Structure 1
């Protein structure tokens, strides 16, 4: 099976009851690749970003870079970018609606060109995810900002040093602020910043480019450089893909080795898997073995910023709790609308009660195959996992969400013994 054709009309047929066993290679991180690709706009020199996954979001990022004036070549998981001259400073609405990370062009464009016009962000429908935290940093740095006809217009003559405390911890807000300040030579201070591994990966890139960044706790001190260099950087492994495959191995009673991972990035996920009854073995620097058994213990999970339990793994662990031996409680603290997968899991027989931002999950022996619809990226992955432990066949629709953030997930699961078939362009639109 291939994943070369990515279409909103594609769907997956997932046959349940297969025990997963074997080894699988983890792709590079989507959430690290996108900001690093945007950082190439900061310099005229050639840049190379390695270990980039082949995803819809990455293809959209390439399209956006080319529109702005970048010369981009994407082959064999490597992105080669050179932006000798910025020809455009507008991120059009149709692209931004496809991919919320498009807002990350704002910081680099303001830093290098002094202008940026960006459509209001789109992406997954999992919550408000307001960008006011980005704009407040830009304004403190001297930017004049207006909103007209659905676009954010930003302009700055000369970026001033900034001292700013984020009101809430924001990953993309921290990343945009770092790139915005990367050419300002005077010292800036950002407090209450995000410390996700993907943010730290961007910091490593900016350091390679010539930016001095010190990190102490959640405080970052930035001294920029008006002449930034090109870079050659290998993106970190995708801890969310790794976690998704780890859960898949565990809930099927399998024995799965994840290769090319960074165990230290997965601490909270691995701890919860151990609580649930998984045997976890760290095999050297970049391999993890996950072994399931017949009993799954119920869990209490509360999502929070890194190093806490990631919101991007909440839906997958909800599936685990659906077949646990007891009652689990899952509280979502990051996004207010991230339980959309619950309705679809209930179609498969899951017993889940929602009370505000908390899901009470009553475990049972098994789920039942059904036709279900993806509502967002991580929800789509959770429905595939549910199909793996359901009786019969599950049809997972709207998998363009899945293709935004997982590279050939069905193929990787099939190499471990799953039976998943992608049906392409076969759904009636009448």
Structure 2
């Protein structure tokens, strides 16, 4: 287990390039199961979850090669429908193979996945949607199990705009007979990215990026080459890093429209922002003003940036009120922030923070990907060296995190944790 040692006091300045989105590329890899042949994905991030997803696909019969930012997936004519091996249990995104397996093979047995401990993420909507398409779905001995003689188009209304359920049902419906309409669908840019790839494979999809997605089933799909959309969460992390450290950072590789809500909060906090088609610059030359945050599905403020927003609130001038509406366990992060002297308290899915100009260095523990990044950013404005333990969480979502921080002027060292 590695740890990061973060020295406080640096103002981050410079340019950073963002790679493809973690929340997209893993689902794009799963979509390759829908077509026999060679699928090529470019602009893929060098994160720990990528080889894990490659192992999931290999376990189903694919050949997967990762070279730089390119992932090549050879999908055979004969696939296994059983995803039950170590990589599945370690990776939440492995559930994304459920839709493609049901769409192509009409059967699937997928071990219930692992992932970040950020709250309850049941598969009810995935299963209920597949049932409406004609499948029999059960949970048996720690697996989600599905079978169908055929899948037929259906009208599906999601109880909540779940990204995972929208993705699985979108992929399954591509090879169903007839027309499927998904109401209250997730609208995230990663959904649009998946739909663009599926359309290039021969799928017929309209409405991606809106709350109503229509899929006209086709008999078969063909492999494609696709460029992964830029990672808005990583881009947002760098935007908030500039504000927290009173710095000046230009971010390339992300469409600023995908970060409209987070960037708007930074403007309210006092940042100056300029932007182009796939870049933006955040300049903060004063202590940020306190602002409130409410996490919501896209186009609202993303839950993945909530820990980063809490780090900003901890050092802002004034009182901030943060409401978490997506994952109930996200506030575990605050326990670690309080170790660093943050004046914060929680009440259910609300958090209240009185900002302090400087935090105190302390040993802290990352509990998930975004919490880990938030603790590193908090360490940049602490009064000494902060040790962030369990750095492997950060590796799952942020490629070259230490290298990029150092290039922006931070003093951050990665080292092996001492034996206990």
1:125 is aligned to 2:150: no
Q: Which residue of 2 aligns with 1:178?
A: 170
Compare 199-208 and 178-187 and name the one that shifted more.
178-187
Shift of 1:93: 5.4
Q: Which residue of 2 aligns with 1:427?
A: 418
Which ranges in structure 1 are unaligned for 5 or more consecutive residues?
Answer: 1-8
Contact 1:187 1:223 in 2 (8 A): yes
Q: Which residue of 1 aligns with 2:184?
A: 192
| 2-structure distance, mates of 1:359, 1:147 | 35
Tell me the TM-score normalized by structure 2.
Answer: 0.98
| 1-structure distance, mates of 2:22, 2:218 | 27
Q: Match for 2:198 among 187, 191, 206?
A: 206
Q: Which residue of 2 aligns with 1:405?
A: 397
Contact 1:298 1:363 in 2 (8 A): yes
| Deviations 1:329-384, CA, capped at 9 Å, x for gaps | 00000111110110000000000011111110001110011100011111111000
| 1-structure distance, mates of 2:287, 2:144 | 52
| Deviations 1:133-160, CA, capped at 9 Å, x for gaps | 0001111112112222111221111111
1:264 is aligned to 2:257: yes
1:355 is aligned to 2:347: yes
Q: Match for 1:243 among 231, 236, 243?
A: 236
Contact 1:161 1:184 in 2 (8 A): yes
Contact 1:93 1:151 in 2 (8 A): no
| 2-structure distance, mates of 1:295, 1:123 | 35
Tell me the SS of whatever aligns to 1:360.
strand
Tell me the SS of whatever aligns to 1:293.
coil
Number of residue pairs matched by the alignment: 419
Q: Which residue of 2 aligns with 1:228?
A: 221
Q: Which runs of 4+ in 1 moved over 3 A?
A: none
Q: Which residue of 1 aligns with 2:154?
A: 162
| 2-structure distance, mates of 1:117, 1:303 | 33
| 1-structure distance, mates of 2:162, 2:309 | 23
| 1-structure distance, mates of 2:89, 2:387 | 27
Q: Which residue of 1 aligns with 2:266?
A: 273
Q: Match for 2:139 among 147, 162, 167?
A: 147
Q: Which residue of 1 aligns with 2:320?
A: 328
| 2-structure distance, mates of 1:152, 1:95 | 16
Map 1:373-412; keep pairs closer than 5 Å. 373-412=365-404
Shift of 1:195: 0.5
| 2-structure distance, mates of 1:138, 1:184 | 11
Shift of 1:111: 1.1
Map 1:69-88; keep pairs closer than 5 Å. 69-88=61-80
Contact 2:22 2:231 in 1 (8 A): yes
Q: Match for 1:342 among 334, 337, 341?
A: 334
Tell me the SS of whatever aligns to 2:137.
strand
| Deviations 1:301-329, CA, capped at 9 Å, x for gaps | 11001000000111101111111110000
- Over the aligned positions, Cα root-mean-square deviation in angstroms equals 1.1
Contact 1:70 1:86 in 2 (8 A): no
Q: Match for 2:21 among 25, 29, 39?
A: 29
Shift of 1:259: 1.2
Shift of 1:87: 3.8
1:57 is aligned to 2:49: yes
| Deviations 1:237-279, CA, capped at 9 Å, x for gaps | 1000001011111211111111122111110011001011111
| 2-structure distance, mates of 1:301, 1:250 | 15
| Deviations 1:72-100, CA, capped at 9 Å, x for gaps | 11111111111123342222253233111
Shift of 1:185: 3.7
